[in-house]
Amino acid sequence: MTDLLAETTTSAASIVQERRVVTAVPGPKSQALHERRLAVVPAGVGTTLAVYIEKAHGAIVVDVDGNQFIDLGAGIGVTTIGHTNDAVVAAATEQLNNVTHTLFTITPYESYVRVAELLAEHTPGDHAKKTVLVNSGAEAVENGVKIARKHTGRYGVAVLEHAYHGRTNLTMAMNFKASPYSTGFGPFAGDVYRAPSSYPFHDGLSGPDAAKRTISYLEKTVGASDLACLIVEPIQGEGGFMVPADGYLPALQDWCTANGIVFIADEIQSGMARTGKYWASEHFGVVPDMVLSAKGIAGGLPLAGVTGRAEIMDSAQPGGLGGTFGGNPVAAAAAVAVFEQIESNDLLAEGTRIGATLTAGLLELQKTYPVIGDVRGIGAMIAIELVQPGTTDPNPEAVAALSAYAAQNGVLLLTAGTYGNVLRFLPSLAISDELLADALSVIAEGFARL
């Protein structure tokens, strides 16, 4: 048993960091697994690509047929410091051998406290902060809203157009896009107010003008005094990696502060070293009252956090927050290792490097292919919006064709965008410039064939 484990660990860590396609994609073993899956897993659990993964390391995933893919998605921004990072695997394995579960609200343990300390230290602002740990991003959003309501005694929840916050009942009500996230699943939670956002490629508005539009919408449709919180993704994720115009987020924050509204940054996709800083909020000079984290925080293990001003977080009564698995010791130990890796290997600089390489390569492609309407994003969170050439109209057909071509040729490339009009690049920080150049060459061939 011990030998087997050692062998598996070595084999993932020894994966050569290169693209290699040895069968049709998906290959025969993946196809056989997919048949089994279709019989027992409901259709609602979608499949982007029916390629079944056996092992992964760094920026490469290997499927059951032996194909090696350059992973530009990182499980939607989860394995941010790389697949099977040695330090994360070691920390989680050690914790697994010591204690797997106690339930923090019954008999606590140190790693939960350490994650809360690290989040207090590394989130924006030097005020006193506290953190509750939960299992998923949607659960973090739910708890953020719960706490903001308790703190303010108000009910209203403000969100933005093109937002994505999860798949629970409350978060379905907060998403912009109905299909596929909420179609047929109602009734939904009430008192959610959706305001226009900042989307420079389409609205052409300055940050202050876009903020004026957002604020006046909310003042008219609900009124500041009935709003508990405003939740923003500093760079919108599923909506298509919209980077708000300069000055937009600071103006929203000022309005929230002036009106006693809790300003919440959903950094679930944009945070945890994704953009060359710990949190995308830092690029815009905002200090949120609350930061929501999940995805990349624990190197692939399920963990999420709500970190906020101590006086806001303490407004919930004892027993009002928590859950059976929240802040699980193995996930918490992994998260501590992720923070240590970011610090000791200066991984924030890797995000900046990746952003520069991707942006330069994609801007070069844009010169040849007018179907690339916009290149945007920060750090290892870059996207291209594909358009009908000469317009800003969405081109979801080109997006689908490109991501399919990439997969066939050993590159995992995710789509996004309210209109299915965006290709997003969310590689791990472990990806080399050589692998990025190889992936970009595949994407260039894809455009040439469109």
Binding site for ligand PLP (CB under 6 A): 136-138, 141, 164-166, 233, 237, 266, 268-269, 294-295
Nearest to 396 by CA among 179, 233, 168: 179
| Nearest distance in Å: CB 237, ligand PLP | 4
SS3 318: coil
How does DSSP classify residue 283?
G
Residue nearest to ligand PLP (CB): 137
| Nearest distance in Å: CB 270, ligand PLP | 7
Phi-psi sector, 71: left (phi>0), alpha (psi -120 to 50), beta: beta
Q: Which residues contact 424 (CB under 8 A, 6 or more apart)?
A: 73, 240, 241, 377, 381, 382, 383, 413, 414, 415, 416
User: Could you identify the residue written with the tokens 């309501």?
Assistant: 149
Residue pair 252/208 in contact by the 8 Å Cβ criterion: no
Given the complex with ligand PLP, which of 382 and 435 has the nearer CB atom? 382
Half-sphere exposure of 304 (CA within 13 A, CB side): 24
| Nearest distance in Å: CB 304, ligand PLP | 6
| Nearest distance in Å: CB 23, ligand PLP | 31
Host H or E run for residue 217 = helix 207-221
Given the complex with ligand PLP, which of 164 and 279 has the nearer CB atom? 164
| Nearest distance in Å: CB 117, ligand PLP | 23
Given the complex with ligand PLP, which of 181 and 193 has the nearer CB atom? 181
Host H or E run for residue 402 = helix 396-408
Q: Which residues contact 112 (CB under 8 A, 6 or more apart)?
A: 104, 133, 327, 329, 332
| Nearest distance in Å: CB 378, ligand PLP | 15
Given the complex with ligand PLP, which of 166 and 394 has the nearer CB atom? 166
What separation in angstroms does the CA of 233 have from each of 164, 207, 309, 326?
Answer: 8, 15, 18, 23
Given the complex with ligand PLP, which of 236 and 253 has the nearer CB atom? 236
| Nearest distance in Å: CB 271, ligand PLP | 9
SS3 261: coil
| Nearest distance in Å: CB 248, ligand PLP | 17
**C-alpha to C-alpha distance for 39 and 109, rounded to whole angstroms:** 41
Given the complex with ligand PLP, which of 165 and 277 has the nearer CB atom? 165
Given the complex with ligand PLP, which of 235 and 354 has the nearer CB atom? 235
Residue pair 68/55 in contact by the 8 Å Cβ criterion: no
Write out the two tokens for 65: 């047929």
Given the complex with ligand PLP, which of 266 and 385 has the nearer CB atom? 266
| Nearest distance in Å: CB 217, ligand PLP | 21
Given the complex with ligand PLP, which of 134 and 413 has the nearer CB atom? 134
Neighbours of 97 (CB within 10 A): 9
Q: What is the number of residues in the chain?
A: 450
